[in-house]
Each structure stands twice: as C-alpha cells, then as structure tokens.
Structure 1
Amino acid sequence: MFNPRPTVRYVAIAGHAPCAVVDDFLLDPDALVARAVAAQARFAVDPANYYPGPELDLGREAALRLDDFFIQHIRRALGAQRTISVAARLALATVAPFELHPLQRLCHRDCAGLAPGVGAAAAVVYLFDDARLGGTSFYRPTQGVDATARVLREAHAGIASEAHAPGYLTASNADFEQLCTIPAQFNRAIFYDGEIFHAAQIDNPALLHPDPARGRLTMNGFFRFRKRIA
C-alpha cells in the first residue's frame, strides 16, 4: 500500500519536532481515490472532532499498515517509542467559509487528554491534483497558555472573536502566528507532532467540492504513542 523505499525530508518548525514530508507515498493512490468515490455515500460528518466535512474510517488493517510505515520511517524523528493506538480515515473538506463554526476558523492540536509520557502524531496524505485546494500550515500561540486556552474555550462555545476573520485560517492573526506551510501535492504525505497547532491552508474555498474525485480529499492518520526516553 505504501512506498517501501520512501525518501523522507524534514521541514523545521520552530520550537517543535520537524514535519516529515514523503512524496510518492502510496503505491497506487488512484485506487484509494476510486475507493473514496465508490464509498461516497458512507462518508459522514462527525461533530465531535469539528472536521469541516464528512469522513470515512478506513478500518483496522489500513490503520495498522499506516502504523507500520510510521514505525519504520517516522517515529524516531517525532520522539515516539511505541504506538499505543492508531486510526486512519478519508476526509473531504466541504464546509463553506460562512458556515464554519468559530472553532473551525482557528488552528487546532491533536493532543487532547494526553497522559504523562504519552505523545501524539498525525499524518495527512493529499489525494487531489489541484494544489490550489491547499496544504497544511503550522502555528504558534502569540499569548500565554491561559489566554490561548480562553480563546479556544470561547470558540468551542460558539463565540466568534472579532479578532478572527470569518472563514478558514490562512494567515497569522492576533492569537496565532503562522510558522510555515507545507504545499499540497498529489500523493504527498506529511507526518507531524500532534501538539503543534495546525490548520488546512484553504486559500481558495470556492474550489471545495463534495465529489471525492474533484474535492479536497485526504487520508488522515492519528497516532498515540509512548514517548522515547532521551
């Protein structure tokens, strides 16, 4: 399923582990796109995670194979020792900017509820040809922990801040500074520390489409792991 001889390059992210970038990630990316098209009716919105569109779980076998790749090629760079859990799903961003929940207008992290000694990582595989649909950007808070937590609590409660422009986050604002952007490319995968604030770089939301063959289709992976002891 995945390239057995990948070339992994790293993009530095200030204050964090680097983002690992792997081009030519899937051996047959078109087959996964075709699977998404065939299963389009089974995609569903999960309101619990605030992803701006429907998703489809890829099942345990795909998740374990993704974890095998993570173990062989990625985990050391992200400080992982042993995987605790892994999930893989297809996702299709479709929500129009004016329909976004206030929390969806911000960057986020994939590390809620981590126990001491436990880390998180995430992966995104871009499964669309049009790079204008956007890659992924990374951010850092401009305020302290308490102030940032308050911003996120208010957004979670549906309170839209005047400091945040309506629509997808694509640049620095009063609360978050954009550190870098990884451009999208068909069959490119990125792996990054789940404790980094990040957001899809959707500069052209008019291009979003509910057809997996035309829209911003990605394969997303989520890992929980025991941190490596230095």
Structure 2
Amino acid sequence: MSLPLSYPVGHAGRFFNATPRIDEVEVGPGQFCYVVDDALIDPEGLVAWADRHRFEPAEANAYPGRLMDCVPTLEQSLDGFFTHHIRRRLGARRTVGMYARFSLVTLAPAALQPGQWQCHRDRVAIDPALCAASVLYLFRDVRLGGTAFYRPRCTAVQLERMLGDAQALGVAEFSARYGVGPGYMTASNDHFEQTGHVPAAWNRLVFYDGGQFHSGHIAHPELLSDGARHGRLTLNGFFACRRGAS
C-alpha cells in the first residue's frame, strides 16, 4: 500500500510537524503524558487514505473494534518523532522495537467482554523495560472520546486475581463477583481511581507510559461507527524501550 502524503523530506519524524509544541500533562502522581496538537502535516489525507482500505476485526487481542496495520513509511516516521521529541521525556534511553496500527472502536457496550469493561496496561517482554505508547486522534467529533488514566485501589494480589477473572469468567459471573457491568470505563469505580483525562482533539497526538493503567474515554458509544471518515479512528504506536539510568 502506498501512502501519497506530503512530508518534509529528510526530517526526523516526516509526515509530522517539524516544530511541534509539546505540552506536559499530569495524569497521576508522578505520571505525565505529552500532548502534541497539529501533529500531522496532512491529517485529512491520512483519513482519506485509511477510508480506502480494509480494517479487520481484532481477534488476537482485546481491542473493542477493528484494526489495520500501519504502512512502514508512516510507522518509521512516528518512530522518528518519538525518538527525536519524546523518548527522553518519558525516561527511556533506547528503543528496541516498535509497531503502529490504525484502530476503530466499533463495539456496542452490550457486546463487550469483561476484559474490555476496564482499563488496561501495555506490556513488553524486556527487563528493565518501558512500554511507551501513543494515540493520534483522527476524528473531529470530540464526543467520541479521548484517553483516561487510572491507578488501582486494591492490592496487587487482588488486582491480578481480578484481571485473571476478566479473561476466565463469563459476563454474568464476573459482573456479580466484582460489581461492574458491561460498558466502556469512563470514571472511577471500586477497583480503580481515575487520575487523569486527556480530551480528544482533531490531529492531537498523545504519548504516555503504557505501563500506567489507561482506557479510551468513550462516554457516547452511540456515536461509534465502523467507517474511518466518521468513526473513532486513531493511529496507535507502541515503543519497547530500555529505561534510562536512574
């Protein structure tokens, strides 16, 4: 697949704004994310391109919708932007792997499984490791939702038991045991405290520590669509990094 978008040739992070304004936002005690508005040079072109290609149901992970692989040129550009502008801010010193994908949240709340009712962490298999993550909002209707951040209210043992039960138990049994029901997580509950929220905005790119619990803040699921032009389209990046010396 070709990607005929304009970009500044030779610049680290091509396709992206060469002189970004980066805002640091606190999303929990000692936790920060980095927000870049007007991130892409040609966001309309990217949405139009995505709309011409096929998204597949997310079968290998718990994502509540449809996914499409990112093309290498854009993936490399996102990696370059992360390396040049963000990596050190997140306390990382070297990237050992990354990938990116396009995502569309499409599932109605009643169709969600227990593991999709709550926030989650991103993990990587290196130690010591930091899994940095990014989300680029490619929709204009901000009611489709940004990203919220959380911290557990329970012990580590209780947390691991609940996360395991979310994968093993059926809807009714999990709901009865933990007092939560089907739906997208948008607020604190008995198990997690919401510590921060970054609203969506057109062409806004957010970087954060994927090891912090987080979730899409989808308060209006009735607006979700399976079309890239009108749905909750995002470009998501995942960066496995070595942590910097403390």
TM value normalised by structure 1: 0.95
The counterpart of 2:101, out of the listed 89, 93, 117, is 89
3-state SS of paired residue (1:161): helix
Rounded Cα–Cα distance in structure 2 between residues aligned with 1:69 and 1:80: 14
In structure 2, the residue matched to 1:124 is: 135
3-state SS of paired residue (1:195): coil
Contact 1:45–1:55 (8 Å) recurs in 2: yes
Give the residue type in structure 1 aligned to 2:132: A
Rounded Cα–Cα distance in structure 1 between residues aligned with 2:192 and 2:125: 22
Rounded Cα–Cα distance in structure 1 between residues aligned with 2:196 and 2:243: 25
Rounded Cα–Cα distance in structure 2 between residues aligned with 1:187 and 1:107: 24
In structure 1, the residue matched to 2:76 is: 64
Contact 1:53–1:93 (8 Å) recurs in 2: yes
In structure 1, the residue matched to 2:5 is: none
Equivalent positions of 1:1-230 (< 5 A) are 1-39=15-53, 42-111=54-123, 113-159=124-170, 160-162=174-176, 163-230=179-246
Rounded Cα–Cα distance in structure 2 between residues aligned with 1:222 and 1:158: 29
Rounded Cα–Cα distance in structure 1 between residues aligned with 2:27 and 2:226: 32
Contact 1:90–1:217 (8 Å) recurs in 2: yes
**After superposition, what is the alpha-carbon deviation per residue over 1:133-171, rounded to whole angstroms, capped at 9, x for unaligned?**
000000000011111111110001244233213210111
Q: Which runs of 5 or more structure 1 residues have no equivalent in the other structure?
A: none
Q: Which runs of 5 or more structure 2 residues have no equivalent in the other structure?
A: 1-14
Contact 1:17–1:77 (8 Å) recurs in 2: no
Rounded Cα–Cα distance in structure 2 between residues aligned with 1:14 and 1:214: 31
Contact 2:16–2:41 (8 Å) recurs in 1: yes
CA separation of 1:123 and 1:36: change in aligned 2, threshold 3 A: same
Superposition deviation, residue 48 in structure 1: 2.1
**Greater displacement, 207-216 / 58-67:** 58-67
Superposition deviation, residue 16 in structure 1: 4.1
Structure of greater Rg: 2
Aligned residue pairs total 227
3-state SS of paired residue (1:55): strand
Give the residue type in structure 2 aligned to 1:115: I
Superposition deviation, residue 77 in structure 1: 1.4
Superposition deviation, residue 15 in structure 1: 3.3
Identical amino acids, percent of aligned pairs:
46
TM value normalised by structure 2: 0.89
Contact 2:113–2:182 (8 Å) recurs in 1: no
Contact 1:101–1:158 (8 Å) recurs in 2: no
Give the residue type in structure 2 aligned to 1:57: D
